[in-house]
Amino acid sequence: MALRKCILLLTISFLIATNLASTASLPNKPGHNLMARLSGDSTSSGGLGECWSALLELKSCTNEIVLFFLNGESYLGIDCCRAIRIITRDCWPTMLTSLGFTSQEGDILRGYCDASPSSHVQPPVQAPDNAPPIVMM
């Protein structure tokens, strides 16, 4: 009985040792690097990190998008358009529909942002440096 337990213990120890030795020497296959998948390689855009950043940026410009469709306010910020471009071109083209936008609304947003990014930029209005002081009576 003791001999059987000893053989069983040795067999289990041997199996565990061979299993640990075989898993420790696994080669790192090209394309299976976690950092490369998260950051995206330099030859293509749409890395997972960039997609998540664009999704968070899209979340922060939701008010602009709602006003764009409801009030006809035709101004979306540069960062919002950049997020829409990244999501619809490089990451998940159907992501806008899964966020509640119809495919037509997604096409409108993409078309607006693709049109001309420099024409949508409205410079901030600045007061002149040497303006006369305002006198209240």
Non-local (6+) Cβ contacts of 20 within 8 A are: none
- 81 is in which domain, residue-wise? 37-115
Q: Report the number of distinct structural domains present in the chain.
A: 1
Give tens-digit pLDDT for 21-58. Answer: 665 555 666 656 656 555 555 444 557 788 888 888 88
Report which DSSP code applies to 44: S
Share of the chain above pLDDT 70, in %: 64
Question: Is it the case that residue 85 has pLDDT exceeding 80?
Answer: yes
| 99 domain residue, yes or no | yes
pTM over 0.75: no
Mean pLDDT over 101-113 rounds to 88
**Amino acid 116: pLDDT:** 55
Alpha carbon 115 to its chain centroid, in Å, reads 22
| 97 domain residue, yes or no | yes
